Homo-oligomer: A and B are copies of this chain.
């Protein structure tokens, strides 16, 4: 900028004015400056500019695994909201480790990102002090966190599971198994509890068949084999997330068991499996969008009390939820 100023015989401030389209520059002066800028290939250093202004026009998204379709849809939605507001998005993956998440969040705070959307790895809010001290707005997604109240976007896990159970019951099932993720995850516990509660409220047999993860295809396999034989064999399965649905599909196919299935999380090819898989759809894009919008509201000065938004789920009925006579292929 100093070089441009020298060449154009003006002060740096005038160059700054031209670059920022500030008023108060005579047209011919501006033109001269622009010509020099063009000739020298000058580009404003946003880092310096933003440092002066105290904002970075950058927000961050912290998730577990960017390759997981759930998070990649979230990421795309958040990036979109950021882009239309002229912000950049930094994505970081904590790989499910609370300590890494803490380190990642602190690094982002040190960079003075304007705000952060986090899918928290656990409920401990380990970065709370840092966030509080730095006044960095944060929005939690998918899972709540203890400690200082923060904006939180959740999915209606209870409603989702209930709709799944009710759907199966409506098709004559009474012995249903539930495969949940690692109970260390809040969502996994929510869905498990919702399953048990719904079973009770519908007057289904007690001693629910519930198996919590972490699950591998073989662990699902073992449990299925056991529960599908013996007294009161199960006739249907509910899986607690997309990965477990996949494991269950593989297991059902391998065991050639004619069980019905409702999965949690929609997936791209659910309609192409035979039979097409009935799923509880939570809308990751909508959740990401909502989270980003809430974050930007805070950035724009919204000082209202932290709020928790529960996004509805939707049961997408395909064929796998009805009573079946032949095995999943």
Interface residues of A (CB under 8 A from B): 41, 43-48, 50-51, 56, 58, 65-67, 69, 71-73, 75-76, 79-80, 83, 88-93, 106-112, 129-130, 133-134, 246, 249-250, 253, 267-269, 271-274, 285, 329
Find A107's partner among B56, B71, B88, B129 (CB 8 Å cutoff): B88
Q: Which of A51, A112, A246, A272 has the most CB of B within 10 A?
A: A272
Distance in angstroms from A138 CB to nearest chain B CB is 15
Whether B43 pairs with A109 at a CB distance below 8 angstroms is: yes
The distance in angstroms between the C-alpha atoms of A73 and B68, with both chains bound, is: 8
Given contacts A92-B88, A268-B246, contact A47 B51 (CB under 8 A): yes
A68 to chain B, nearest CB (A): 8
Counting chain B CB atoms within 10 Å of each CB, which of A67, A110, A111, A329 scores highest? A67
How often does this chain occur in the complex, in copies? 2
Q: Considering the chains assembled together, what is the distance between the CA atoms of A133 and B37 in angstroms?
A: 13
By the criterion CB–CB under 8 Å, are B88 and A45 in contact?
no
Query: Which of chain B's residues has its CB closest to A86's CB?
Result: B107
A218–chain B nearest beta-carbon distance, Å: 16
Name the CB-closest residue of B to A288: B67
Return 25 A-B CB contacts under 8 Å, by A number: A41-B129, A43-B109, A43-B133, A43-B134, A45-B112, A46-B112, A48-B51, A51-B51, A67-B285, A69-B69, A71-B72, A72-B72, A79-B92, A83-B92, A83-B93, A88-B107, A89-B91, A90-B91, A91-B91, A246-B272, A249-B272, A250-B271, A250-B272, A268-B268, A273-B274
Minimal beta-carbon separation of A121 from chain B (angstroms): 15
Answer whether A111 and B76 are a contact pair too, CB < 8 Å, given A89-B90, A267-B268, A273-B273: no
**CB distance B92 to A89 under 8 Å?**
yes
**Interchain nearest-CB distance for A325 vs B (Å):** 16
Contact A111 B47 (CB under 8 A): yes
Q: Bound complex: CA of A80 vs CA of B92, how far in Å?
A: 9
For the complex, give the distance between the alpha carbons of A268 and B270 in Å: 11
Residues of B within 8 A of A76 (CB): 65-67, 93
- Given A51-B47, A69-B72, A250-B272, are A93 and B80 neighbors across the interface (CB < 8 Å)? yes
